[in-house]
Each structure stands twice: as structure tokens, then as C-alpha cells.
């Protein structure tokens, strides 16, 4: 391995990079005003073609850091898999797919295909038969397609391992190595990881050729996150969450629980108090998981109650608060949880509920972070407003990319014949067979009825209002 190039670079101008003018224009149109530290540190190296290990936190702009060099050397005229991005979870893979598609607007007809579990093999096999330039998937499902002969990687030029530490924690080491064996030895390998344990060092030694290593500050800006700890009795823990929400009034919150049962109990309590709340845990099927994440991301849900396992790979922009309903015994998990808020220059709020038997856990967090915990008293908190209702509701449309439906088609149907204002329409998400659109909560039912009575792209579609 080449010398460690630990870096904390300042934000840099995109024009300093040797990338296509079309991509430069696309980046400007997408609002990429300046490179983030991880982009500034890694892109000059990865664009030069060498292998790279980048240690950087989630939410640091790392998707663009590996997608831009991948796209830069893509031969669009060759409809064969040239880029492969491996991710630990389907949720992260979907987010990566969406970001690569945005960055691929600089080029004509780049096909990006997700390959993850929880979806029938048949549809993915048919998509592979039609060809793809870039595959983004989970190791297990990608390896499955390779073993079935549905996927060939002989033309691969770039292999990306995203959140490699999590993939190894989840037991994917053998799958990753089996996949890599079916790729050309001349490929470029880019590995991104929040931590650099011995397992990552061992994996990189087997898969990479003289990689450069870059470390970009992996600790979260503690000044951007306001942290408070509250002592509670075990039987008042869940009710305490409503007191926190009513006092601080965060517009979007992830509340972490240790168990599925606790998640479900807390959602029931929150809904009884008037909050828009959904749960995310391992017992949900993939369709329900997808719909929960879509609703939370498009502001149709104000509180997401989740287990750590279910929330892996979750990257929600503008998250106002994190509540640790249970204090974790692992300081790294604590840091990872609260690091989901206070991103991209925004301020965040981290609130932790602690019972007397959990005090030793707080001590371990203090030791790991080298700072004392700040305590506050629940009894001093006063409701500063009513229970926050989500400003949006989500409509599910039976039709997606397979039916050639585009976001503009849905927006046009709502603002055209249906007569709604553009300001009443929020985020539009396109799936293979379903599409989702956020609309202002007061018009949600009328919008649903209008779409059912009208047409999208000249066709009748079935539309339903998702429950939150």
C-alpha cells in the first residue's frame, strides 16, 4: 500500500478536475457548488486511474466521489457492465442508484441497474438481458446472478465497495471475493469505509493493487449537534419520547429502539398522541420497507422509529433530530446514530434516554468521545406546540420505469388537468413497477381522486393514498 495521505482538504473548485465539460455543467445544474472534503481528497487520485481506499463518514459526498470517475471512463456505446457498486443494503443501493442516475445526465442513455434481494429474480434477469452499463447491488444478489449466468463482468473497468466495513460486519467477505474473481485483474477498485479495521486491511490486500489511502475526518462535527441526556424510569421511557418531541418540535426525527416490539409499541403511542409515525424493522417485507423510507424521505412522516439493523444505509437529508430511546452499550453505534443529523452545515439534535442500569453505557460514550455528557431534566420540558403532523402525504401510482413513466409525466398530470399548483407537489420517486409522489397533506385525497379519474402519460392508472 502506498503511503497514507491523511487529508483534511478545503473545499475546492470542480473546474480543477480533469472531467468532461458536460459533467462540469451537470454538476453546476445539480447544485454541486464546491467539492466536499472527501471529494477533494479522492477525486484527483481516482481520476488518475489508481486503486483507492477512502475512510470517510456516511453523508460526506462519497457517492459522487466514486461515481464521477466511474462515469468519466464509461464507454456508453458499449452496452456491457463496466461499473459495479456493491452496497451492504438495498436501501443504500437504491440511494446510490438515484445519485448515479443524476450524475449520468451528463451523458446519453446510461443504463444503471439495481440488483438487490427482496425483488423477484425474473424481472432482474430480464433487465440484464436488455443490457446495463452500471450495476449497483448487494453482494448476495449480485453473486446469485453471476452463478446463474445472468450477469457477466468480463468488461468491468471499475469495482466500488461502498460502506465496506458494514458489508464485512454483515458477513459478505466471501461473496465479495467470489465476485471480484470474476472481474478483470486490470479493473480499478475504489473502497469506501467509515472505519478501517483489520478486516478491511486484509480485504484490500487481496483485492487491490498498491492502493492510495485517504483519510478524511471521520468524526462528526460535534459543534453542529446539540447532545442531551435524560434520566428516565424504565416504564416511562416511551412516553418520554412524546415529551421530547413536543418540546423540541423537530421537523423530522429518527427514534432508535433495540427491538421490533419496542418499535411497534412506540409507534402506537406516538400515533395516539397525534404524531405522523412509521416503523422500520427487520420483520417488514421489502415492499413495506421501501414505502416507509420513501414516505420519510419525502416528508410524509415526521417520526421514523427504527432498529439499528433496519436503519443501516439510511441516509436522509435534513434530519432534524435523533432520539436514542435505548442507550446503546457501543460508543461507535452511538456516534453513528447521532451522526445522521447535523450534516452538510446544518445543526442537529441528539437526545438520549437513560435508565439507572444504563449509566455505565453513558460513561463509555464519554470516554470514547473525550467529553462529558450534558444532562437535562425531563420535568423542565414544556410543550412548545401541538404534535407535529407531516406536511405531505404520499400517493402510490401503479406504474413506473417499466411503463416509461417519468417524473415530468406525474407532475404534468397533477398540475395540468387536475389543476393543482406546482408548489403543492413534492418529491417524486420512480420504481420499476410503481411510482410515488408527495403532495401537500390538505390536498392528498383530492389529488388521489383526480389521478384515478384522469390519465398519466395518456393512460389510466390506479392510485392509492399511503397510510402514515
Dist. CA 447–CA 419, nearest whole Å? 9
For residue 310, pLDDT beyond 70: no
DSSP 212: E
> In the structure, what pLDDT confidence band is assigned to residue 11 with cuts at 50, 70 and 90?
very low
CA gap 208, 210 in Å, rounded:
6
Q: ∠215-317-229 over CA atoms, to 5°?
A: 80
Q: Does residue 421 or residue 6 have the better pLDDT? A: 421
| Averaged pLDDT of the chain | 89
Percent of the chain residues topping a pLDDT of 70:
93
At residue 391, does pLDDT exceed 90? yes
188 vs 318, higher pLDDT: 188
Q: What is the pLDDT of residues 87-117, one digit of tens each?
A: 988 888 988 998 999 999 999 899 999 999 8
Q: Is the pLDDT of residue 86 over 80?
A: yes
pLDDT tens by residue, 193-211 = 988 888 899 999 999 999 9
The residue ranking higher by pLDDT, 315 or 170, is 170
Name the 3-class secondary structure at 315.
coil
- Specify the pLDDT at position 312: 60
Q: Where in the chain is the domain with CATH 3.40.50.300?
A: 14-215, 222-380
| Mean pLDDT (whole number) for 115-140 | 92
Mean pLDDT of 432-454: 93
Beta-sheet pairing, 225-231 with 112-115: unpaired
Q: How far is CA 250 from CA 9, 341, 442, in A?
A: 32, 11, 21
- CA gyration radius, the chain: 23
Q: How confident is the model at residue 315 (pLDDT cuts 50, 70, 90)?
A: low
The pLDDT tens digits of the residues spanning 243-263 come to 999 999 999 999 999 889 999
Are 7 and 37 contacting, i.e. CB atoms less than 8 angstroms apart? yes
**Topology (CATH) of 222-380:** Rossmann fold (3.40.50)
Identify each DSSP E strand in 166-287 by its residue range. 188-193, 212-215, 225-231, 253-256, 277-280
Residue 3: per-residue pLDDT? 46
Q: Which among 153, 163, 143 is positioned nearest to 203, based on CA atoms?
A: 163
Its CATH class, for the domain covering 14-215, is alpha beta
* % of the chain with per-residue pLDDT over 90: 65
Structure confidence at residue 71 (pLDDT): 96
Buried b or exposed e, range 135-165, using 16+ CB within 10 angstroms:
bbbbbebbbbbbeeebbebebbbbbbbbbbb
* pLDDT single digits (tens) 258-288: 889 999 999 999 999 999 999 998 788 878 8
Enclosing H/E stretch for 363: helix 359-369
Per-residue confidence band for 313, with pLDDT thresholds at 50, 70 and 90: low
How far is the CA of 48 from the CAs of 18, 35, 72, in angstroms?
A: 9, 17, 11
- The three three-digit cell numbers of residue 220, written as one number: 462528526
461499473: which residue's cell? 83
The predicted model gives 369-390 an average pLDDT of 88
Helix axes 260-272, 237-248, angle to 10 degrees: 50
Residues 6+ positions from 328 with CB-CB distance below 8 Å: 256, 258, 308, 334, 337, 361
Nearest to 141 by CA among 130, 154, 128, 157: 128
Give the mean model confidence (pLDDT) for residues 418-436.
91
Matching residue, cell 460535534: 222
Residue 133 pLDDT more than 90? yes
Q: Give CATH 3.30.70.330 domain extents, the chain.
A: 392-465
Looking at residue 417, what is its pLDDT?
Answer: 83
Per-residue pLDDT, 65: 94
* Cβ-contact 373, 324 below 8 angstroms: no
Whole-model pTM? 0.71
Fold type of domain 392-465:
Alpha-Beta Plaits (3.30.70)
> Which range, of 79-93, 247-261, 304-318, averages the lowest pLDDT?
304-318
Amino acid at each position: 500500500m502506498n503511503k497514507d495521505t491523511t487529508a483534511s482538504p478545503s473545499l475546492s473548485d470542480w473546474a480543477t478536475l480533469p472531467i468532461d465539460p458536460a459533467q462540469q455543467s451537470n454538476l453546476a445544474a445539480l447544485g454541486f457548488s464546491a467539492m466536499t472534503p472527501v471529494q477533494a481528497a479522492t477525486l484527483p487520485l481516482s481520476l488518475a486511474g489508481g486503486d483507492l481506499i477512502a475512510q470517510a463518514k456516511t453523508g460526506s459526498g462519497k457517492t459522487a466521489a466514486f461515481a464521477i470517475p466511474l462515469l468519466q471512463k464509461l464507454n456508453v456505446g458499449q452496452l456491457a457492465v463496466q461499473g459495479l457498486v456493491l452496497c451492504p443494503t438495498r436501501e443504500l443501493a437504491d440511494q446510490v442508484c438515484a445519485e448515479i442516475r443524476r450524475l449520468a445526465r451528463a451523458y446519453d442513455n446510461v443504463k444503471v441497474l439495481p440488483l438487490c434481494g427482496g425483488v423477484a429474480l425474473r424481472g432482474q434477469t430480464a433487465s440484464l438481458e436488455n443490457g446495463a452499463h452500471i450495476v449497483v447491488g448487494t453482494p448476495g444478489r449480485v453473486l446469485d446472478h453471476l452463478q446463474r449466468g445472468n450477469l457477466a463482468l468480463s468488461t468491468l473497468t471499475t469495482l466500488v465497495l461502498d460502506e465496506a466495513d458494514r458489508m464485512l460486519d454483515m458477513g459478505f467477505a466471501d461473496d465479495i471475493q467470489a465476485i471480484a474473481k470474476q472481474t478483470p485483474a486490470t479493473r480499478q477498485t475504489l473502497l469506501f469505509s467509515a472505519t478501517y479495521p483489520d478486516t478491511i486491511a486484509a480485504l484490500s490486500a487481496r483485492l487491490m493493487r498498491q492502493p492510495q489511502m485517504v483519510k478524511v475526518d471521520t468524526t462528526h462535527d460535534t459543534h453542529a449537534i446539540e447532545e442531551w441526556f435524560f434520566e428516565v424510569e424504565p416504564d416511562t421511557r416511551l412516553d418520554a419520547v412524546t415529551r421530547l418531541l413536543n418540546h423540541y418540535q423537530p421537523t423530522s426525527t429518527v427514534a432508535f429502539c433495540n427491538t421490533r416490539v419496542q418499535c411497534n409499541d412506540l409507534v402506537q403511542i406516538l400515533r395516539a398522541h397525534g404524531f405522523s409515525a412509521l416503523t422500520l424493522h427487520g420483520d417488514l417485507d421489502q415492499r413495506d420497507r421501501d414505502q416507509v423510507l420513501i414516505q420519510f424521505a419525502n416528508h410524509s412522516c415526521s417520526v421514523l422509529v427504527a432498529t439499528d439493523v433496519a436503519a443501516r444505509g439510511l441516509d436522509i437529508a435534513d434530519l432534524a433530530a435523533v432520539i436514542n430511546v435505548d442507550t446503546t452499550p457501543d460508543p461507535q453505534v452511538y456516534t453513528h446514530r447521532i451522526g445522521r443529523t447535523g450534516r452538510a452545515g446544518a445543526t442537529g439534535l441528539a437526545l438520549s434516554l437513560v435508565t439507572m442500569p444504563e449509566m455505565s453505557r453513558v460513561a463509555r460514550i464519554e470516554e470514547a468521545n473525550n467529553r462529558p455528557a450534558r444532562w437535562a431534566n425531563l420535568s423542565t420540558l414544556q410543550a412548545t406546540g401541538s404534535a407535529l403532523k407531516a406536511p405531505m402525504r404520499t400517493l402510490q401510482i401503479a406504474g413506473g420505469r417499466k411503463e416509461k413513466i417519468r417524473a415530468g409525466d406525474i407532475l404534468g398530470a397533477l398540475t395540468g388537468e387536475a389543476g393543482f399548483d406546482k408548489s403543492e407537489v413534492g418529491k417524486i420517486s420512480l420504481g420499476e413497477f410503481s411510482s410515488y409522489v408527495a403532495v401537500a397533506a390538505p390536498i392528498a385525497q383530492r389529488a388521489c381522486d383526480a389521478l384515478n379519474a384522469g390519465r398519466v402519460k395518456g393512460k389510466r392508472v390506479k392510485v392509492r393514498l399511503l397510510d402514515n
